[in-house]
Chain A
Amino acid sequence: MRTKTRRQRKKSQARRQAPATSFVDYEVEGRSRPKSRSRLGRFVAHHGWVAKTSLQQLLQAPLSTLMTAAVIAIALSLPSGLFLLLNDLQSVVVGWQGTAQISVFIKKSIPDGQAESVGQLLRGWDEIADVRYVSAEQALQEFQQHSGFGDALGILNENPLPAVLVITPQREYLSSEKLQPLATRLRQLPEVDLVQLDYQWIERLNTIIALGKRGALLLSAMLAIAVLIVIGNTIRLTIYNRRQEILVTKLIGATNQFIRRPFLYTGFWYGVSGAVLSILLISLLFWLISGPVKSLAGLYNSPFQLTGLTALDAGIVFATAVGLGLLGSWIAVTRHIQLIEPK
Protein backbone atom coordinates (compact mmCIF):
# COMPACT_ATOMS: atom_id res chain seq x y z
CA MET A 1 0.00 0.00 0.00
CA ARG A 2 2.72 2.36 1.01
CA THR A 3 4.88 1.79 -2.05
CA LYS A 4 1.91 2.20 -4.27
CA THR A 5 1.21 5.59 -2.77
CA ARG A 6 4.81 6.62 -3.26
CA ARG A 7 4.69 5.61 -6.87
CA GLN A 8 1.47 7.50 -7.43
CA ARG A 9 2.95 10.54 -5.83
CA LYS A 10 6.04 10.43 -7.99
CA LYS A 11 3.89 10.13 -11.04
CA SER A 12 1.80 13.09 -10.06
CA GLN A 13 4.89 15.15 -9.31
CA ALA A 14 6.36 14.38 -12.66
CA ARG A 15 3.13 15.42 -14.30
CA ARG A 16 3.07 18.80 -12.62
CA GLN A 17 5.92 21.16 -13.25
CA ALA A 18 5.83 22.77 -9.83
CA PRO A 19 5.93 19.98 -7.27
CA ALA A 20 4.65 20.67 -3.82
CA THR A 21 6.22 19.20 -0.76
CA SER A 22 4.74 15.76 -0.62
CA PHE A 23 2.61 14.72 2.26
CA VAL A 24 4.69 11.85 3.47
CA ASP A 25 8.12 13.42 3.01
CA TYR A 26 6.82 16.46 4.65
CA GLU A 27 6.11 14.61 7.85
CA VAL A 28 9.78 13.88 8.25
CA GLU A 29 10.96 17.20 6.96
CA GLY A 30 8.54 19.14 9.14
CA ARG A 31 9.83 17.74 12.38
CA SER A 32 13.41 18.74 11.83
CA ARG A 33 12.52 22.17 10.53
CA PRO A 34 13.58 24.88 12.95
CA LYS A 35 10.97 27.42 13.90
CA SER A 36 11.77 30.25 11.56
CA ARG A 37 9.73 32.81 13.40
CA SER A 38 9.04 33.44 17.07
CA ARG A 39 5.64 32.98 18.69
CA LEU A 40 5.29 36.73 18.98
CA GLY A 41 6.21 37.19 15.33
CA ARG A 42 3.52 34.74 14.27
CA PHE A 43 1.02 36.39 16.60
CA VAL A 44 1.71 39.80 15.11
CA ALA A 45 1.60 38.42 11.59
CA HIS A 46 -1.74 36.76 12.31
CA HIS A 47 -3.18 39.97 13.72
CA GLY A 48 -2.00 41.86 10.67
CA TRP A 49 -3.66 39.28 8.49
CA VAL A 50 -6.95 39.43 10.42
CA ALA A 51 -6.90 43.23 10.39
CA LYS A 52 -6.37 43.26 6.65
CA THR A 53 -9.03 40.65 5.96
CA SER A 54 -11.67 42.37 8.07
CA LEU A 55 -10.89 45.70 6.42
CA GLN A 56 -11.26 44.09 3.00
CA GLN A 57 -14.59 42.64 4.05
CA LEU A 58 -15.81 46.08 5.09
CA LEU A 59 -14.63 47.61 1.82
CA GLN A 60 -16.56 44.97 -0.09
CA ALA A 61 -19.75 46.68 1.11
CA PRO A 62 -18.63 50.31 0.98
CA LEU A 63 -22.07 51.88 1.23
CA SER A 64 -23.21 50.14 4.41
CA THR A 65 -19.77 50.63 5.96
CA LEU A 66 -19.94 54.32 5.10
CA MET A 67 -23.39 54.60 6.66
CA THR A 68 -22.25 53.03 9.91
CA ALA A 69 -19.17 55.24 9.92
CA ALA A 70 -21.36 58.28 9.27
CA VAL A 71 -23.60 57.47 12.23
CA ILE A 72 -20.53 57.21 14.46
CA ALA A 73 -19.08 60.40 12.99
CA ILE A 74 -22.22 62.45 13.56
CA ALA A 75 -22.69 61.11 17.06
CA LEU A 76 -19.09 62.06 17.89
CA SER A 77 -19.02 65.41 16.10
CA LEU A 78 -22.02 66.82 17.89
CA PRO A 79 -20.66 66.78 21.46
CA SER A 80 -17.04 67.35 20.39
CA GLY A 81 -17.99 70.44 18.40
CA LEU A 82 -20.00 71.73 21.33
CA PHE A 83 -17.09 71.14 23.70
CA LEU A 84 -14.69 72.97 21.43
CA LEU A 85 -17.00 75.97 21.13
CA LEU A 86 -17.54 76.14 24.89
CA ASN A 87 -13.79 75.87 25.49
CA ASP A 88 -13.13 78.79 23.18
CA LEU A 89 -15.81 80.82 24.87
CA GLN A 90 -14.39 79.97 28.27
CA SER A 91 -10.88 80.99 27.29
CA VAL A 92 -12.26 84.41 26.41
CA VAL A 93 -13.99 84.66 29.78
CA VAL A 94 -10.87 83.54 31.62
CA GLY A 95 -9.00 86.32 29.84
CA TRP A 96 -11.51 88.80 31.20
CA GLN A 97 -11.40 87.28 34.63
CA GLY A 98 -7.70 88.03 35.05
CA THR A 99 -8.30 91.70 34.35
CA ALA A 100 -11.27 92.04 36.70
CA GLN A 101 -11.03 95.42 38.32
CA ILE A 102 -12.98 97.52 40.76
CA SER A 103 -13.56 101.12 39.86
CA VAL A 104 -13.80 103.38 42.90
CA PHE A 105 -15.17 106.82 42.00
CA ILE A 106 -14.05 109.58 44.35
CA LYS A 107 -16.50 112.28 45.36
CA LYS A 108 -16.01 115.41 43.28
CA SER A 109 -15.60 117.48 46.42
CA ILE A 110 -12.42 115.64 47.40
CA PRO A 111 -9.23 117.35 46.23
CA ASP A 112 -6.68 115.42 44.14
CA GLY A 113 -4.10 115.12 46.90
CA GLN A 114 -6.52 113.53 49.33
CA ALA A 115 -7.77 111.11 46.69
CA GLU A 116 -4.23 110.00 46.02
CA SER A 117 -3.60 109.39 49.68
CA VAL A 118 -6.72 107.23 49.80
CA GLY A 119 -5.07 105.25 47.02
CA GLN A 120 -1.95 104.91 49.15
CA LEU A 121 -4.07 103.69 52.05
CA LEU A 122 -5.79 101.09 49.88
CA ARG A 123 -2.48 99.71 48.65
CA GLY A 124 -1.94 98.51 52.19
CA TRP A 125 -5.05 96.31 52.15
CA ASP A 126 -4.52 92.57 51.88
CA GLU A 127 -7.12 92.01 49.21
CA ILE A 128 -5.63 94.58 46.86
CA ALA A 129 -2.80 93.90 44.47
CA ASP A 130 -2.55 97.26 42.83
CA VAL A 131 -4.19 100.68 42.80
CA ARG A 132 -4.00 102.98 39.84
CA TYR A 133 -4.99 106.54 40.45
CA VAL A 134 -6.68 108.28 37.55
CA SER A 135 -7.23 111.95 38.26
CA ALA A 136 -10.19 113.77 36.86
CA GLU A 137 -7.90 115.40 34.31
CA GLN A 138 -6.45 112.09 33.13
CA ALA A 139 -9.91 110.55 32.99
CA LEU A 140 -11.04 113.38 30.74
CA GLN A 141 -8.06 112.93 28.43
CA GLU A 142 -8.56 109.17 28.21
CA PHE A 143 -12.22 109.65 27.50
CA GLN A 144 -11.54 112.17 24.77
CA GLN A 145 -9.04 109.88 23.10
CA HIS A 146 -11.11 106.73 23.16
CA SER A 147 -14.71 107.75 22.86
CA GLY A 148 -14.81 110.22 20.01
CA PHE A 149 -16.91 112.54 22.18
CA GLY A 150 -13.96 114.91 22.54
CA ASP A 151 -15.70 117.76 20.76
CA ALA A 152 -18.86 117.35 22.75
CA LEU A 153 -16.88 117.50 25.99
CA GLY A 154 -15.28 120.72 24.87
CA ILE A 155 -18.67 122.36 25.06
CA LEU A 156 -18.93 121.71 28.78
CA ASN A 157 -17.48 124.30 31.08
CA GLU A 158 -16.08 121.96 33.59
CA ASN A 159 -14.81 118.38 33.70
CA PRO A 160 -17.83 116.13 34.41
CA LEU A 161 -15.64 113.19 35.29
CA PRO A 162 -14.62 112.24 38.80
CA ALA A 163 -11.21 110.93 39.84
CA VAL A 164 -11.07 107.15 39.89
CA LEU A 165 -9.07 104.57 41.81
CA VAL A 166 -8.78 101.51 39.63
CA ILE A 167 -8.22 98.59 41.94
CA THR A 168 -6.82 95.24 40.87
CA PRO A 169 -7.69 92.65 43.48
CA GLN A 170 -5.29 89.89 44.52
CA ARG A 171 -5.75 86.74 42.41
CA GLU A 172 -7.16 84.69 45.25
CA TYR A 173 -9.96 87.25 45.74
CA LEU A 174 -11.24 86.85 42.20
CA SER A 175 -14.70 85.58 42.94
CA SER A 176 -17.85 87.46 43.67
CA GLU A 177 -18.23 86.12 47.23
CA LYS A 178 -14.83 87.52 48.13
CA LEU A 179 -15.09 90.71 46.14
CA GLN A 180 -18.45 91.71 47.63
CA PRO A 181 -17.11 92.36 51.19
CA LEU A 182 -14.21 94.30 49.68
CA ALA A 183 -16.66 96.46 47.71
CA THR A 184 -18.69 97.05 50.88
CA ARG A 185 -15.63 98.18 52.81
CA LEU A 186 -14.67 100.49 49.97
CA ARG A 187 -18.15 102.02 49.94
CA GLN A 188 -17.81 102.84 53.62
CA LEU A 189 -14.87 105.15 52.98
CA PRO A 190 -16.05 108.77 53.31
CA GLU A 191 -14.21 109.91 50.15
CA VAL A 192 -15.89 107.32 47.98
CA ASP A 193 -18.86 108.19 45.83
CA LEU A 194 -19.49 104.97 43.97
CA VAL A 195 -17.96 101.50 43.75
CA GLN A 196 -18.44 99.59 40.54
CA LEU A 197 -17.85 95.88 40.48
CA ASP A 198 -17.93 94.52 36.92
CA TYR A 199 -17.52 90.97 37.91
CA GLN A 200 -20.85 89.29 38.42
CA TRP A 201 -21.72 88.91 34.77
CA ILE A 202 -18.41 87.14 34.14
CA GLU A 203 -19.30 84.70 36.86
CA ARG A 204 -22.76 84.19 35.46
CA LEU A 205 -21.33 83.56 32.04
CA ASN A 206 -18.87 81.14 33.55
CA THR A 207 -21.67 79.29 35.26
CA ILE A 208 -23.63 79.13 32.03
CA ILE A 209 -20.59 77.71 30.24
CA ALA A 210 -20.08 75.17 32.98
CA LEU A 211 -23.74 74.21 32.61
CA GLY A 212 -23.26 73.93 28.86
CA LYS A 213 -20.26 71.68 29.37
CA ARG A 214 -22.20 69.47 31.75
CA GLY A 215 -24.95 69.26 29.16
CA ALA A 216 -22.42 68.39 26.48
CA LEU A 217 -21.02 65.69 28.75
CA LEU A 218 -24.45 64.13 29.24
CA LEU A 219 -25.09 64.38 25.53
CA SER A 220 -21.75 62.67 24.89
CA ALA A 221 -22.63 59.86 27.26
CA MET A 222 -25.97 59.25 25.57
CA LEU A 223 -24.49 59.42 22.09
CA ALA A 224 -21.68 57.08 23.16
CA ILE A 225 -24.32 54.56 24.20
CA ALA A 226 -26.03 55.09 20.84
CA VAL A 227 -22.73 54.41 19.06
CA LEU A 228 -22.22 51.25 21.12
CA ILE A 229 -25.69 50.06 20.16
CA VAL A 230 -25.18 50.83 16.48
CA ILE A 231 -21.84 49.05 16.33
CA GLY A 232 -23.09 46.19 18.48
CA ASN A 233 -26.08 45.70 16.24
CA THR A 234 -24.04 45.87 13.05
CA ILE A 235 -21.60 43.31 14.40
CA ARG A 236 -24.47 41.10 15.56
CA LEU A 237 -25.85 41.03 12.03
CA THR A 238 -22.40 40.21 10.66
CA ILE A 239 -22.11 37.38 13.14
CA TYR A 240 -25.41 35.90 12.06
CA ASN A 241 -24.52 36.27 8.41
CA ARG A 242 -21.39 34.26 9.08
CA ARG A 243 -23.00 31.75 11.38
CA GLN A 244 -22.09 28.80 9.19
CA GLU A 245 -18.48 29.91 9.03
CA ILE A 246 -18.34 30.20 12.81
CA LEU A 247 -19.78 26.71 13.25
CA VAL A 248 -17.28 25.20 10.85
CA THR A 249 -14.29 26.97 12.39
CA LYS A 250 -15.41 25.87 15.83
CA LEU A 251 -15.58 22.26 14.65
CA ILE A 252 -12.08 22.57 13.23
CA GLY A 253 -10.78 23.70 16.60
CA ALA A 254 -10.99 27.47 16.68
CA THR A 255 -11.06 29.06 20.10
CA ASN A 256 -13.60 31.73 20.93
CA GLN A 257 -10.78 34.28 20.89
CA PHE A 258 -9.90 33.27 17.36
CA ILE A 259 -13.49 33.67 16.20
CA ARG A 260 -13.87 36.92 18.10
CA ARG A 261 -10.80 38.51 16.60
CA PRO A 262 -12.05 39.42 13.10
CA PHE A 263 -15.23 40.91 14.59
CA LEU A 264 -13.18 43.00 17.01
CA TYR A 265 -11.15 44.23 14.08
CA THR A 266 -14.36 45.04 12.24
CA GLY A 267 -15.40 47.15 15.24
CA PHE A 268 -11.95 48.70 15.27
CA TRP A 269 -12.22 49.69 11.62
CA TYR A 270 -15.71 51.11 12.17
CA GLY A 271 -14.18 53.22 14.94
CA VAL A 272 -11.30 54.36 12.77
CA SER A 273 -13.52 55.27 9.82
CA GLY A 274 -15.99 57.00 12.15
CA ALA A 275 -13.14 58.97 13.75
CA VAL A 276 -11.67 60.08 10.45
CA LEU A 277 -15.09 61.11 9.19
CA SER A 278 -15.84 62.87 12.46
CA ILE A 279 -12.58 64.85 12.37
CA LEU A 280 -13.35 65.91 8.81
CA LEU A 281 -16.88 66.85 9.80
CA ILE A 282 -15.80 68.95 12.80
CA SER A 283 -13.16 70.72 10.73
CA LEU A 284 -15.75 71.44 8.07
CA LEU A 285 -18.25 72.80 10.61
CA PHE A 286 -15.65 75.05 12.23
CA TRP A 287 -14.49 76.27 8.85
CA LEU A 288 -18.07 77.08 7.95
CA ILE A 289 -18.75 79.12 11.10
CA SER A 290 -15.31 80.70 11.49
CA GLY A 291 -16.14 83.53 9.06
CA PRO A 292 -19.34 84.63 10.84
CA VAL A 293 -17.68 84.26 14.25
CA LYS A 294 -14.83 86.46 13.14
CA SER A 295 -17.12 89.21 11.95
CA LEU A 296 -19.14 88.94 15.16
CA ALA A 297 -15.96 89.26 17.25
CA GLY A 298 -14.93 92.17 15.08
CA LEU A 299 -18.12 93.99 16.08
CA TYR A 300 -17.01 93.69 19.70
CA ASN A 301 -13.49 94.87 18.88
CA SER A 302 -12.26 91.44 19.95
CA PRO A 303 -9.46 89.51 18.24
CA PHE A 304 -11.34 86.34 19.25
CA GLN A 305 -11.00 83.44 16.86
CA LEU A 306 -12.13 79.84 16.95
CA THR A 307 -9.30 77.50 17.85
CA GLY A 308 -10.84 74.61 15.95
CA LEU A 309 -9.63 71.04 16.33
CA THR A 310 -6.13 70.74 17.78
CA ALA A 311 -4.03 67.61 17.34
CA LEU A 312 -4.84 66.67 20.93
CA ASP A 313 -8.59 67.05 20.34
CA ALA A 314 -8.33 64.98 17.18
CA GLY A 315 -6.44 62.36 19.17
CA ILE A 316 -9.18 62.27 21.80
CA VAL A 317 -11.89 61.92 19.14
CA PHE A 318 -9.89 59.16 17.49
CA ALA A 319 -9.27 57.26 20.71
CA THR A 320 -12.92 57.58 21.74
CA ALA A 321 -14.19 56.32 18.40
CA VAL A 322 -11.79 53.37 18.30
CA GLY A 323 -12.55 52.58 21.94
CA LEU A 324 -16.29 52.61 21.29
CA GLY A 325 -15.83 50.49 18.16
CA LEU A 326 -13.88 47.86 20.05
CA LEU A 327 -16.16 47.90 23.08
CA GLY A 328 -19.35 47.71 21.00
CA SER A 329 -18.10 44.78 18.97
CA TRP A 330 -16.67 43.07 22.04
CA ILE A 331 -20.02 43.16 23.81
CA ALA A 332 -21.88 41.88 20.75
CA VAL A 333 -19.37 39.21 19.88
CA THR A 334 -18.97 37.87 23.41
CA ARG A 335 -22.71 37.54 23.80
CA HIS A 336 -23.48 35.95 20.47
CA ILE A 337 -20.49 33.72 19.74
CA GLN A 338 -21.24 31.59 22.76
CA LEU A 339 -24.71 30.94 21.41
CA ILE A 340 -23.35 29.52 18.18
CA GLU A 341 -22.16 26.04 19.02
CA PRO A 342 -22.04 23.04 16.68
CA LYS A 343 -24.92 20.64 17.19
Chain B
Amino acid sequence: MIKLVNVSKRYPGGHEALSNVSCQLEKGDMAFLTGRSGAGKSTLLKLITLVERTTRGEVVLDGKNLSRVRRRQIPFLRRKIGMVFQDHNLLYDKTVFDNVALPLIIAGEHHAETGRRVRASLDKVGLLGRENEYPVTLSTGEQQRVGIARAVVNRPPLLLADEPTGNLDPDLSREIMELFESFNSIGTTVLIATHDLELIKHLPHRLLTLHQGRLVADSFTQDLVQTA
Protein backbone atom coordinates (compact mmCIF):
# COMPACT_ATOMS: atom_id res chain seq x y z
CA MET B 1 0.00 0.00 0.00
CA ILE B 2 2.68 2.41 1.07
CA LYS B 3 6.31 2.01 0.16
CA LEU B 4 9.04 4.46 1.11
CA VAL B 5 12.39 4.07 -0.60
CA ASN B 6 15.34 6.03 0.82
CA VAL B 7 13.14 9.00 1.53
CA SER B 8 14.70 12.25 2.70
CA LYS B 9 12.97 15.52 3.31
CA ARG B 10 14.85 18.73 3.84
CA TYR B 11 12.84 21.85 4.53
CA PRO B 12 13.89 25.22 3.17
CA GLY B 13 16.33 26.51 5.75
CA GLY B 14 18.25 23.28 5.92
CA HIS B 15 16.42 21.30 8.60
CA GLU B 16 16.36 17.68 7.58
CA ALA B 17 13.10 16.22 8.88
CA LEU B 18 13.55 12.78 7.39
CA SER B 19 16.74 11.13 6.27
CA ASN B 20 16.92 7.97 4.25
CA VAL B 21 13.77 6.33 5.49
CA SER B 22 12.68 3.07 3.87
CA CYS B 23 9.72 0.98 4.88
CA GLN B 24 6.71 -0.75 3.51
CA LEU B 25 3.12 -1.21 4.57
CA GLU B 26 1.03 -3.93 2.93
CA LYS B 27 -2.63 -3.66 2.11
CA GLY B 28 -4.69 -4.31 5.23
CA ASP B 29 -1.78 -3.61 7.58
CA MET B 30 -2.11 -1.55 10.69
CA ALA B 31 0.92 0.25 12.04
CA PHE B 32 1.86 2.88 14.58
CA LEU B 33 4.39 5.53 13.75
CA THR B 34 6.06 6.78 16.85
CA GLY B 35 8.86 8.96 18.04
CA ARG B 36 9.30 12.22 19.96
CA SER B 37 7.83 15.39 18.58
CA GLY B 38 10.11 16.63 15.85
CA ALA B 39 11.16 13.09 14.95
CA GLY B 40 9.51 13.42 11.57
CA LYS B 41 6.15 11.66 12.07
CA SER B 42 4.07 14.50 10.68
CA THR B 43 6.46 15.04 7.81
CA LEU B 44 6.13 11.41 6.81
CA LEU B 45 2.34 11.69 6.74
CA LYS B 46 2.59 14.93 4.77
CA LEU B 47 4.69 13.19 2.16
CA ILE B 48 2.05 10.50 1.75
CA THR B 49 -0.74 13.09 1.35
CA LEU B 50 1.47 15.22 -0.92
CA VAL B 51 1.25 18.24 1.32
CA GLU B 52 5.04 18.10 0.99
CA ARG B 53 7.27 16.50 -1.61
CA THR B 54 10.31 14.39 -0.95
CA THR B 55 13.74 15.93 -1.40
CA ARG B 56 15.25 12.56 -2.25
CA GLY B 57 13.88 9.05 -2.60
CA GLU B 58 10.40 8.05 -3.53
CA VAL B 59 7.05 7.36 -1.94
CA VAL B 60 4.91 4.78 -3.70
CA LEU B 61 1.24 4.74 -2.82
CA ASP B 62 -0.88 1.88 -4.11
CA GLY B 63 1.63 1.33 -6.93
CA LYS B 64 1.81 4.99 -7.82
CA ASN B 65 5.06 6.93 -7.52
CA LEU B 66 4.04 10.15 -5.80
CA SER B 67 6.90 12.22 -7.20
CA ARG B 68 5.31 11.76 -10.61
CA VAL B 69 1.89 12.95 -9.46
CA ARG B 70 1.16 16.36 -10.89
CA ARG B 71 -0.32 19.16 -8.88
CA ARG B 72 -3.71 18.90 -10.54
CA GLN B 73 -3.97 15.21 -9.68
CA ILE B 74 -3.27 15.67 -5.97
CA PRO B 75 -6.93 16.15 -4.96
CA PHE B 76 -7.93 12.86 -6.57
CA LEU B 77 -5.14 11.07 -4.77
CA ARG B 78 -6.18 12.55 -1.43
CA ARG B 79 -9.71 11.24 -1.92
CA LYS B 80 -8.33 7.74 -1.51
CA ILE B 81 -6.86 8.62 1.87
CA GLY B 82 -8.89 9.18 4.99
CA MET B 83 -7.14 11.73 7.20
CA VAL B 84 -7.70 12.13 10.93
CA PHE B 85 -6.10 15.13 12.60
CA GLN B 86 -5.13 15.87 16.18
CA ASP B 87 -7.27 19.01 16.26
CA HIS B 88 -10.07 17.37 14.25
CA ASN B 89 -10.10 20.10 11.58
CA LEU B 90 -13.89 20.20 11.59
CA LEU B 91 -15.82 23.05 10.04
CA TYR B 92 -17.47 24.72 12.98
CA ASP B 93 -20.14 26.59 11.05
CA LYS B 94 -21.48 23.37 9.61
CA THR B 95 -23.50 20.60 11.19
CA VAL B 96 -22.09 17.19 12.01
CA PHE B 97 -23.91 15.83 8.96
CA ASP B 98 -22.41 18.41 6.62
CA ASN B 99 -18.93 17.83 8.05
CA VAL B 100 -19.10 14.11 7.47
CA ALA B 101 -20.74 14.55 4.08
CA LEU B 102 -17.96 16.84 2.83
CA PRO B 103 -15.77 14.17 1.18
CA LEU B 104 -18.81 12.77 -0.62
CA ILE B 105 -19.87 16.19 -1.82
CA ILE B 106 -16.33 16.82 -3.03
CA ALA B 107 -16.41 13.52 -4.90
CA GLY B 108 -19.71 14.54 -6.49
CA GLU B 109 -21.80 11.85 -4.82
CA HIS B 110 -25.50 12.46 -5.16
CA HIS B 111 -27.84 13.38 -2.43
CA ALA B 112 -29.68 10.23 -1.38
CA GLU B 113 -26.48 8.22 -1.44
CA THR B 114 -24.73 10.86 0.65
CA GLY B 115 -27.40 10.69 3.35
CA ARG B 116 -27.19 6.92 3.56
CA ARG B 117 -23.43 6.83 3.73
CA VAL B 118 -23.14 9.66 6.25
CA ARG B 119 -25.56 7.89 8.58
CA ALA B 120 -23.75 4.60 8.13
CA SER B 121 -20.48 6.30 8.97
CA LEU B 122 -21.88 8.12 11.99
CA ASP B 123 -23.45 4.88 13.18
CA LYS B 124 -20.03 3.29 13.02
CA VAL B 125 -18.50 5.88 15.35
CA GLY B 126 -21.56 5.84 17.61
CA LEU B 127 -22.89 9.27 16.80
CA LEU B 128 -26.01 8.38 14.85
CA GLY B 129 -28.79 10.78 15.76
CA ARG B 130 -26.45 13.70 16.34
CA GLU B 131 -26.32 14.74 12.65
CA ASN B 132 -27.97 18.10 13.12
CA GLU B 133 -25.82 19.26 16.00
CA TYR B 134 -22.89 21.59 15.56
CA PRO B 135 -19.36 20.45 16.47
CA VAL B 136 -19.05 22.97 19.32
CA THR B 137 -21.87 21.23 21.20
CA LEU B 138 -19.90 17.98 21.18
CA SER B 139 -17.17 16.90 23.57
CA THR B 140 -13.59 16.63 22.32
CA GLY B 141 -13.88 12.87 22.06
CA GLU B 142 -17.09 13.16 20.09
CA GLN B 143 -15.56 15.76 17.80
CA GLN B 144 -12.72 13.36 17.09
CA ARG B 145 -15.29 10.68 16.25
CA VAL B 146 -16.89 13.08 13.78
CA GLY B 147 -13.42 13.59 12.29
CA ILE B 148 -13.05 9.82 11.97
CA ALA B 149 -16.52 9.45 10.47
CA ARG B 150 -15.56 12.04 7.89
CA ALA B 151 -12.30 10.22 7.15
CA VAL B 152 -14.00 6.90 6.49
CA VAL B 153 -17.24 8.01 4.85
CA ASN B 154 -15.66 7.67 1.42
CA ARG B 155 -14.47 4.14 2.29
CA PRO B 156 -10.84 4.99 1.55
CA PRO B 157 -8.38 2.10 1.25
CA LEU B 158 -5.93 4.00 3.47
CA LEU B 159 -6.53 5.72 6.78
CA LEU B 160 -3.89 8.10 8.17
CA ALA B 161 -4.08 9.63 11.61
CA ASP B 162 -1.79 12.29 13.05
CA GLU B 163 -1.88 12.14 16.87
CA PRO B 164 -5.58 11.31 16.88
CA THR B 165 -5.62 10.91 20.65
CA GLY B 166 -3.38 13.87 21.43
CA ASN B 167 -6.11 15.78 23.22
CA LEU B 168 -7.99 12.87 24.76
CA ASP B 169 -7.91 11.15 28.12
CA PRO B 170 -6.79 7.47 28.23
CA ASP B 171 -10.31 5.97 28.17
CA LEU B 172 -11.41 8.00 25.19
CA SER B 173 -8.09 7.31 23.51
CA ARG B 174 -8.62 3.58 23.86
CA GLU B 175 -12.08 3.86 22.30
CA ILE B 176 -10.67 5.79 19.39
CA MET B 177 -7.96 3.18 18.87
CA GLU B 178 -10.57 0.44 18.94
CA LEU B 179 -12.40 2.28 16.21
CA PHE B 180 -9.28 2.30 14.07
CA GLU B 181 -8.84 -1.39 14.73
CA SER B 182 -12.38 -2.07 13.59
CA PHE B 183 -11.77 -0.26 10.32
CA ASN B 184 -8.56 -2.21 9.89
CA SER B 185 -10.53 -5.42 10.46
CA ILE B 186 -12.61 -4.71 7.34
CA GLY B 187 -9.53 -4.31 5.20
CA THR B 188 -8.56 -0.67 5.52
CA THR B 189 -4.84 -0.01 5.77
CA VAL B 190 -4.23 2.14 8.87
CA LEU B 191 -1.20 4.22 9.81
CA ILE B 192 -1.34 6.15 13.06
CA ALA B 193 1.27 8.62 14.20
CA THR B 194 1.35 8.86 17.97
CA HIS B 195 3.80 9.41 20.80
CA ASP B 196 1.55 7.73 23.34
CA LEU B 197 3.45 4.48 23.86
CA GLU B 198 1.55 3.74 27.03
CA LEU B 199 -1.68 3.61 25.01
CA ILE B 200 -0.47 1.41 22.17
CA LYS B 201 1.73 -1.06 23.91
CA HIS B 202 -1.16 -3.47 24.45
CA LEU B 203 -2.41 -3.20 20.89
CA PRO B 204 -0.75 -5.92 18.83
CA HIS B 205 0.39 -4.08 15.71
CA ARG B 206 3.44 -3.03 13.87
CA LEU B 207 5.52 -0.21 15.28
CA LEU B 208 7.72 2.13 13.29
CA THR B 209 9.98 4.28 15.42
CA LEU B 210 11.49 7.49 14.16
CA HIS B 211 14.31 9.32 15.87
CA GLN B 212 15.65 12.58 14.51
CA GLY B 213 14.35 11.81 11.06
CA ARG B 214 15.71 8.26 10.91
CA LEU B 215 13.77 5.05 11.11
CA VAL B 216 15.47 3.44 14.09
CA ALA B 217 13.17 0.48 14.64
CA ASP B 218 10.63 -1.54 12.66
CA SER B 219 9.17 -3.85 15.25
CA PHE B 220 5.95 -4.81 16.99
CA THR B 221 4.20 -3.14 19.91
CA GLN B 222 4.63 -6.38 21.86
CA ASP B 223 8.34 -5.62 21.98
CA LEU B 224 7.55 -2.52 24.03
CA VAL B 225 6.06 -4.69 26.76
CA GLN B 226 9.06 -7.00 26.75
CA THR B 227 11.60 -4.23 27.00
CA ALA B 228 9.59 -2.48 29.72
Contact = CB atoms under 8 A, between A and B. Distances in A.
Contact of B185 (A2, A16, A42): A2
Contact of B102 (A1, A23, A249, A256): A249
Nearest to B119: A20
B216 to A, nearest CB: 26
A22 B120 contact: yes
Given A1-B182, A22-B123, A251 B110 contact: no
Contacts of A30: 117, 155
A37 to B, nearest CB: 5
Give the 10 A-B CB pairs with smallest separation, nearest first.
A20-B119, A253-B78, A253-B79, A1-B185, A23-B124, A255-B75, A20-B123, A21-B120, A42-B110, A253-B75
Contacts of B224: none
A119 to B, nearest CB: 81
Interface string B102-121: 11011111111100110111
Grouping DSSP codes into helix (H, G, I), strand (E, B) and loop, the A interface class, with mixed when no group exceeds half, is helix
Contacts of B49: 251
B186 A2 contact: yes
Contacts of A343: 51
Contact of A251 (B78, B111, B117, B128): B78
B129 interface: yes
B128 A20 contact: yes
A159 interface: no
Candidate in A33, A253, A255 with the most chain B CB atoms within 10 angstroms: A253
Given A46-B108, A252-B78, 20 more contacts: A9-B123, A19-B123, A20-B119, A20-B128, A23-B124, A24-B186, A26-B116, A30-B155, A42-B110, A46-B105, A244-B89, A245-B91, A245-B93, A249-B102, A249-B106, A251-B51, A252-B83, A252-B106, A253-B106, A341-B51
Contacts of B110: 36-37, 41-42, 45
Interface residues of A, number: 42
A220 B93 CA distance: 39
B186 A27 contact: yes
A4 to B, nearest CB: 8
Contacts of B29: none
A285 interface: no
A250 interface: yes
Interface in A12-52: 12-13, 16, 19-24, 26-27, 30, 33, 36-37, 39, 41-43, 45-46, 49
Given A20-B120, A23-B124, A26-B120, A253 B129 contact: no
B83 A20 contact: no
Interface in B84-107: 89-91, 93, 102-103, 105-107
B115 to A, nearest CB: 9
A245 B123 CA distance: 25
Contacts of B124: 9, 22-23
A331 B108 CA distance: 25
Contacts of A46: 105, 108
A342 interface: yes
Interface in A240-290: 244-245, 247-256, 258
